[in-house]
Structure 1
């Protein structure tokens, strides 16, 4: 496979067109009466039209056929995906989960969608506030199937195996020690090359952001330039047996058929895109005198709530680093939370998070 190209930057205004169709991106306006190559213009909104400019998310896509060129959606088997947090009684004890076993391809083929398992969640999916945590495991690629989430953003963390992710914006190769974010409404399909497993953090109603740095200053933690956005790539492919588009809407799965590949976007521009990030680029901040710093200094991405300083969810890593503080025993302190504590910081010390270490 040829090396994939990317655009760098977090939340930037970007533009891209497939080099096979030079000039496919309209100049001077978003929606001309006739687009180059007779393409169809679509706007993908990640926020309300009237959001402040600093928080407004949208991209324009120029595609061979409109994305609505499919038959009606029909309900499909939910598998192990749920948004009903009352199925299990609450338990205040510390909990962990064993690694999910990946079935052998010779026994049962499982792709990304059929291998989704919901672990836990909070909030209400219908009021667009909350989060869910899923595990994915698969041993085969999504053949003539794609998925998009109408409920929230997926932060995907591969733990085993590489993911070749086809999106409407282009292709991304994501492997262990990297993460990617597929934002709400973006269609994607995943090819795998071996048995594959990983985690998904889903947030409703908000998007992931870089955390504020405060006294750290202008640089450090995850730097914006290290986030990579795919460049435009399209396929103009008829699918005789029918292409299946799977949608997650209000926690339920639906499927629709169409005759062409959905990855027919020749050019696009905007600031609402999928992106990937290598965790090896994380600039660690740590204590050098005494005691342990709060684990919030290891935040890669945050999904903010309406309360300043309180997150719906934080994605935090504990990468290899020097620990040189004096008079501090190596294991971190235990951290006990009340109901008024930060809901995005619900661990009892760094060692508890080893379960989630990549």
Structure 2
């Protein structure tokens, strides 16, 4: 990366905290004593970005003040564009309650078709509706080229970005974030960003409508554990004062569709900012694992990194859960995930390695969906192996990072996911066919 691409980050320290940042090239760019003075330092414009209703209680009130060279209102009218597979039409194909698994989603070669982050977005499944501000969507991104003179933002919800292959250099209005596999990045609703890649890149996105991601409550766990607030990072202010004679394109995802507006300057012209509504990143290797040390297999909720809460206590619109390297020590216990039917929907992805319950068919860059009340669990090979294993302390998932988007919504799969992508593994159900009865009423 060139010198102008140096990424500077600051510790988030805690959700809801106020951050203050200014580009060191313009010391004193932040106004003193008030948010919106008559004349801002350096002749900047003050602009507020609100991520919550003005009247939200203080702990949930989210906003940031941006001090920029030109306000974001300076653009031509938005017009609808059609260039990818984004959708929130959950009725385009018939529902499918079966266990679904996808092979690694294929990244087109740049010589065949150039795809940047936006043109490479594909909706895989989801539920709810962005206009009513209640729902989620799971997207896959497949890209082989960087975004040039264009940026993107979602008017519908927050993007939780999980890279699986390739580094992403994400330029935001707040500064730059370099995000690699085994890291995640959250770009909250309305925040403009552009993605630079260094070769082919692939990953997963969880979009939530109407709420924001937050750290889960710890309850009896106590003050420490899971994802620690101090390990989240936010960018430091960085600006470019750049005119774009050929035009800069701002793309908005609005009510599930894409719209483009043109302007003649870079939108990344924020010289200073302060507030608690920011993009942020987190390294999954910093997760403090909580696990069973006596017997039985604990519920996967103990691995929750971030949650997007619903209005029902204890029930999330979506949880982001990981299955990191850890020790398995439970005694008298079938240690892999148990056979299960769930009132939640479970989408799983694999960043690297081999997931312990399905070491062969579940591959990095692919995914699986186990819908509401659809049974699932370890394949036959895993069951036989774990049933006969000597129970002693063992390392689990070394070199592996799997994750789950778990949702209280019943997710519908898109036409792209079931038909167009050509990655659906139609033989997935066969991994359970070798399971046989061990029942013997004469032998307890």
TM-score (norm 1): 0.96
Contact 2:297/2:336 (8 A) holds in 1:
no
| Aligned counterpart, 2:322 | 317
Equivalent residue of 1:297, what SS?
Answer: helix
Equivalent residue of 1:147, what SS?
Answer: strand
| Aligned counterpart, 1:21 | 26
| Aligned counterpart, 1:252 | 257
Separation of aligned partners in 2, 1:350 and 1:201: 23
Equivalent residue of 1:157, what SS?
Answer: strand
Contact 1:314/1:344 (8 A) holds in 2:
no
Question: Which runs of 5 or more residues in structure 1 are unaligned?
Answer: none
How far the C-alpha of 1:350 sits from its partner, in A, is 7.5
Pair 1:6-2:9 in alignment: yes
Contact 1:291/1:326 (8 A) holds in 2:
yes
Pair 1:215-2:207 in alignment: no
Equivalent residue of 1:215, what SS?
Answer: helix
Question: Matched residue pairs, number?
Answer: 353
Equivalent residue of 2:126, what SS?
Answer: strand
Which of 274, 278, 285 is matched with 2:290 structurally? Answer: 285
Pair 1:164-2:180 in alignment: no
Contact 1:156/1:180 (8 A) holds in 2:
yes
Which of 233, 237, 259 is matched with 1:232 structurally? Answer: 237
Contact 1:223/1:282 (8 A) holds in 2:
yes
Separation of aligned partners in 2, 1:157 and 1:313: 15
Separation of aligned partners in 2, 1:181 and 1:166: 13
| Aligned counterpart, 2:110 | 105
Contact 1:151/1:251 (8 A) holds in 2:
yes
Equivalent residue of 2:301, what SS?
Answer: helix
Which of 117, 123, 134 is matched with 2:122 structurally? Answer: 117
Which of 265, 271, 275 is matched with 2:270 structurally? Answer: 265
CA shift digits 1:66-94 (9 cap, x unpaired): 10111000010052000000112111111
| Aligned counterpart, 1:180 | 185
How far the C-alpha of 1:97 sits from its partner, in A, is 1.7
- CA RMSD in angstroms comes to 1.6
Equivalent residue of 1:48, what SS?
Answer: coil
| Aligned counterpart, 2:248 | 243
Pair 1:66-2:76 in alignment: no
Separation of aligned partners in 2, 1:205 and 1:240: 37
| Aligned counterpart, 1:191 | 196
CA shift digits 1:123-149 (9 cap, x unpaired): 122101010000001000000010000
Contact 1:311/1:344 (8 A) holds in 2:
no
CA shift digits 1:14-67 (9 cap, x unpaired): 000000000000010000000000100000000000000000000000000010
Pair 1:41-2:46 in alignment: yes
Separation of aligned partners in 1, 2:165 and 2:39: 46
Deviation beyond 6 Å, 4+ runs, structure 1: none
| Aligned counterpart, 1:351 | 357
Contact 2:48/2:64 (8 A) holds in 1:
yes
CA shift digits 1:153-189 (9 cap, x unpaired): 0000000000000000000000000000000000000
Equivalent residue of 1:137, what SS?
Answer: strand
Contact 1:41/1:60 (8 A) holds in 2:
yes
How far the C-alpha of 1:344 sits from its partner, in A, is 5.9
Separation of aligned partners in 2, 1:165 and 1:225: 21
TM-score (norm 2): 0.77
| Aligned counterpart, 1:140 | 145
Contact 1:298/1:318 (8 A) holds in 2:
yes
- Greater gyration radius: 2
How far the C-alpha of 1:330 sits from its partner, in A, is 2.9
CA shift digits 1:218-238 (9 cap, x unpaired): 010000000000000000000
Which of 310, 335, 341 is matched with 2:340 structurally? Answer: 335
Contact 2:166/2:201 (8 A) holds in 1:
yes
Separation of aligned partners in 2, 1:345 and 1:176: 21
